[in-house]
Amino acid sequence: MRRRTEAPASSNEADNADKKGPDQRRQSPAEANGGVSYRSVLINLGKCLLLIIIIPPFLNYASLQREGQMLLPKDGQIVDVGLGQKMHLLCKGQGKPVVILDSPTGMSSDVWFHVQESVATLTKVCTYDRMGLGFSKRLMPNETTGTEKVWGMSTTGRMVDDLHRLIQAASIAKPFILVGSELGAFNGRFYSHIHDAQVSDLVLIDPIPEDVFEEDQWKEYWYGKVLPTFQARQFSAATGLSRMLIILGAIEPTVKGENVSEEVVQRQKYLLSNPAHQSSAVDEHYFLNESAAQVRDITKFKPLSSRVSVSVITGDSFDEQVPAHLNQMVAELQRKFLEESYPSANQIHIKGADRRMIYKKPSAVSQQLRRLVNQRQARQQSE
């Protein structure tokens, strides 16, 4: 490859040399040759680099177009929630009360795969993609609808507004059981405080305490460690690097295992390579302090109605991969906000679990949700 392009280059150089003055012609052929091959190596290197920079993103975008159509879940619906927005809703099973699952920070509805399958044998269970994630496409900045003036993009207030419109548009039966993990727990709290008549039970899985962003150590961890990981993922998706790493097996989907269908695996790979999804994941992490502040305000301003039952599911630690002092801090602040805001909450501990429990220990989580559904169904029958 290199040789073939070298040949014309050196003959060019020879032509040039002929036109040069006698002084320059005295240059030894070896010297001239060395200069030429160095230059052509550089040129070829440049071409290779250009290919490496251009081709993967190009192939990635071409594949994303195709996969976006193909991998939309078969049971999923794209619901027009008004104001020009469309959201992806995925419901399984039949019956009441409906269970609604809200994902952790930056994650699509697939993260609930195991839990949804298990609880759907008892009742209707719905997951959805928050705006910008998964199959809920975010509007262009010039197409926004006015709600962003009230709540910033990718903050809890905005998400709750979207979820509320989604539930109306899809005519989901009320009251329902609202389950949220991490950021999903912020949303669950915000939703239940405002629309308390719609929620019979609020389940918080690994809730992040709203006061934690007051702590410098936490801010350092979240903005210094967690956020950069997601920014790197966004960059890697945009350059097509993620797709290559997935092909090489260096990146793997979060939800996998013997009972996970190929479609779910492919969909997660698609989202890992999708810069739009990754960008929204970054935003949700970036604005989590804003979300925390909103939840703190709403909790103070409008306490939760006593009609809503609250359950809190936590593991041994917030995240087994972070230093002990951070876990202690989160546990301490969790205890504080639960005491203050939800003193009669039913507290459930899952052994050996942390913030990854909904996909690492799904049967333990499903068991708690199934128990709650059974209780509600028994009460409905006796009424």
Ligand X SMILES: *[C@@H]1O[C@H](CO)[C@@H](O)[C@H](O)[C@H]1NC(C)=O
CB of 287 to ligand X, least distance (A): 7
CB of 282 to ligand X, least distance (A): 13
Peptide bond into 97 cis (omega under 30): yes
**C-alpha to C-alpha distance for 240 and 48, rounded to whole angstroms:** 16
- Tokens 């917030």 belong to 318
CA angle 200, 201, 204 (to 5 degrees): 155
Stretch that binds ligand X, among 75-83, 116-124, 167-175, 288-296 (CB under 6 A): 288-296
CB of 284 to ligand X, least distance (A): 13
Residue 83 backbone zone (phi > 0: left; psi -120 to 50: alpha; other: beta)? left
CB of 293 to ligand X, least distance (A): 4
**C-alpha to C-alpha distance for 115 and 345, rounded to whole angstroms:** 22
Nearer to ligand X, 22 or 141 (CB): 141
Report the run of H or E that residue 125 belongs to, with start and end: strand 125-128
Query: Using CB under 6 A, which of 290, 298, 337, 359 touches ligand X?
Result: 290
Q: Report if residue 140 touches ligand X, rule: CB under 6 A.
A: yes
- Tokens 């039952």 belong to 309
- Distance, first Cα to last Cα, the chain: 81
340: helix, strand or coil: helix
Q: Report if residue 283 touches ligand X, rule: CB under 6 A.
A: no
Q: Report if residue 224 touches ligand X, rule: CB under 6 A.
A: no
Residues 70-129 that bind ligand X (CB under 6 A): none
**Per-residue x/- marks for ligand X, 249-268, CB under 6 A?**
--------xxx---------
Closest CA to 181 of 157, 205, 149: 205
Q: Report if residue 142 touches ligand X, rule: CB under 6 A.
A: yes
Nearer to ligand X, 212 or 326 (CB): 212
Report the run of H or E that residue 18 belongs to, with start and end: helix 2-19
Q: Report if residue 220 touches ligand X, rule: CB under 6 A.
A: no
Nearer to ligand X, 8 or 257 (CB): 257
Q: Which residues bind ligand X (CB under 6 A)?
A: 140, 142-143, 257-259, 289-290, 293
